[in-house]
């Protein structure tokens, strides 16, 4: 029974250890995070959670209905304690809590539903504190700047909170105000794509006025149903967008928790849009890392295990490359061997992943200590995207892997063309690229009609046409 309880405890340990490692290794920790009070809270919370699991489940028969009900209650109590810890320590702890709240495919529901409130309902600064920041930075009182200013924030996150306001010229704006105790995190913003318009004349290093953009959170299925937005289309667009960032551009928005990703129908055209918020956490990928990662994903999608091993090891995984492949894809080792793009995720596979995640905690920690720092934020981003797919019930689709495969193909072809001045060779590369993209399109067609005689014929044709990797 003690072993069962310890295994359950490892859910919390695994999530906190891995998420904390992402942040620590990339130096995003608040310098005050290691203060005695903050560490004391964290240690005390971990001890209480561990004691609760060990004592509450000790005398109940494992596998019984009573055990399941009691375990759910312990999960809920533990999640609430973690949430209270995050709110008390703020800063980085809230970022970790946001990450955990998005891991629907991995953590028990009691944890994710409890911690999800941190996506947009983190601890708030008081109105007096907000007035002080605006007064210090803009040199005026709120009533002198705005016709109206809503006291209740639209959302509060780890570093700032957002208020809706109206300027005296009638423009509706979103006012993002940094919490008073937060240190400046960077000297400049790096923009990947069009973000909401910024009103620089009324912005400072701690107050940001932006165009007000409405939409629903990317994991809000009810909002999408109400506005007739196809969740599968959103999942596919999100996959394409992040594949472009990672494989083609090498410049990645690394905080896609649901509070930072909105969806809406454009008022003018009715076209579905994805809106990224909070551009404070990006990762710039080196060409070497990006291309090795491209090769690895191509190998994973084609079930080329020799190349999976080769490129996993080039990315620092060493002999733990099977675990690395499972962590990247959120698939079982059996599915990785068969080809992740050839079969959808099943309920049984999800259960297997959850069970193994806790079992392999020591190896996961060892692996995280080996891979490059760039990989840590990519893993965090992958976790958040998988969580969104799960919330949208779109995780069973293999379409996201096909989007990744297309981007990998384009990125590798572009790299090869850069390295040659021969027109003949460039033409050859373009033809190979077109053939590969055509094969991916055929594969996508197969997935749509799988089980029919046409699907089986296409599957056989793909195997026959598949070129030898080089």
Is 255 catalytic? The answer is yes
Q: Are strands 160-167 and 146-149 parallel, antiparallel or unpaired?
A: antiparallel
Buried-exposed string 301-335: b where 16+ CB fall within 10 A, e elsewhere: bbbbeebbbbbbbbbbbeebbbbbbbbbbbbbeeb
E strands, 96-254, are 146-149, 155-156, 160-167, 172-178, 207-211, 216-217, 251-253
Please state, in angstroms and rounded to a whole number, the distance separating the CA atoms of residues 215 and 272.
11
Coil, helix or strand at residue 275: strand
The conformational region for residue 125 under phi > 0 = left, psi -120 to 50 = alpha, else beta, is beta
Q: 148 has which bridge partners?
A: 166
Do 380 and 19 contact (CB within 8 A), yes or no?
yes
Farthest-apart Cα atoms in the chain, separation: 75
Coil, helix or strand at residue 162: strand
Q: Nearest to residue 280, comparing CAs of 197, 190, 213? A: 190
Catalytic residue among 52, 104, 220, 255: 255
Q: Name the residues annotated as catalytic.
A: 255
């Amino acid at each position: 029974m003690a072993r069962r309880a310890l295994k359950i405890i490892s859910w919390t340990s695994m999530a906190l250890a891995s998420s904390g490692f992402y942040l620590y290794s990339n130096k995003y920790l608040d310098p005050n995070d290691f203060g005695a009070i903050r560490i004391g809270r964290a240690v005390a919370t971990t001890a209480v959670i561990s004691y609760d699991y060990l004592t509450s489940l000790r005398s109940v028969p494992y596998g019984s209905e009573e055990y399941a009900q009691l375990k759910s209650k312990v999960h809920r109590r533990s999640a609430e304690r973690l949430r209270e810890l995050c709110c008390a320590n703020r800063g980085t702890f809230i970022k970790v809590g946001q990450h955990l709240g998005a891991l629907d495919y991995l953590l028990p529901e009691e944890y994710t539903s409890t911690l999800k409130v941190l996506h947009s309902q983190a601890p708030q600064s008081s109105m007096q504190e907000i007035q002080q920041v605006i007064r210090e930075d803009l040199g005026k009182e709120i009533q002198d700047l705005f016709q109206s200013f809503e006291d209740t924030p639209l959302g509060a996150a780890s570093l700032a909170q957002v208020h809706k306001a109206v300027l005296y010229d009638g423009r509706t704006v979103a006012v993002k105000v940094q919490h008073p105790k937060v240190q400046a995190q960077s000297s400049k913003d790096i923009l990947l794509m069009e973000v909401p318009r910024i009103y620089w004349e009324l912005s400072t290093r701690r107050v940001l006025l932006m165009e007000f953009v409405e939409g629903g959170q990317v994991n809000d299925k009810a909002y999408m149903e109400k506005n007739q937005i196809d969740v599968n289309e959103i999942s596919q667009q999100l996959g394409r967008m992040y594949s472009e960032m990672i494989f083609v551009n090498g410049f990645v928005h690394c905080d896609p928790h649901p509070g930072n990703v909105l969806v809406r129908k454009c008022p003018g055209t009715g076209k579905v849009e994805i809106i990224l918020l909070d551009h404070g956490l990006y990762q710039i990928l080196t060409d070497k890392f990006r291309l090795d990662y491209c090769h690895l994903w191509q190998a994973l999608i084609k079930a080329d295990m020799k190349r999976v091993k080769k490129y996993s090891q080039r990315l620092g995984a060493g002999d733990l490359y099977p675990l690395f492949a499972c962590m990247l894809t959120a698939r079982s080792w059996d599915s990785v061997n068969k080809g992740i793009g050839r079969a959808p995720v099943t309920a049984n596979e999800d259960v297997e992943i959850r069970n193994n995640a806790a079992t392999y905690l020591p190896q996961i920690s060892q692996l995280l200590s080996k891979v490059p720092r760039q990989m840590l934020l990519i893993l965090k981003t992958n976790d958040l995207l998988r969580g969104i797919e799960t919330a949208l019930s779109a995780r069973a689709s293999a379409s996201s892997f096909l989007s990744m495969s297309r981007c990998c193909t384009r990125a590798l072809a572009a790299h090869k063309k850069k390295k040659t001045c021969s027109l003949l060779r460039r033409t050859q590369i373009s033809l190979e690229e077109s053939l590969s993209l055509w094969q991916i399109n055929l594969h996508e067609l197969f997935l749509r009609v799988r089980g029919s005689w046409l699907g089986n014929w296409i599957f056989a044709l793909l195997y026959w046409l598949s070129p030898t990797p080089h």
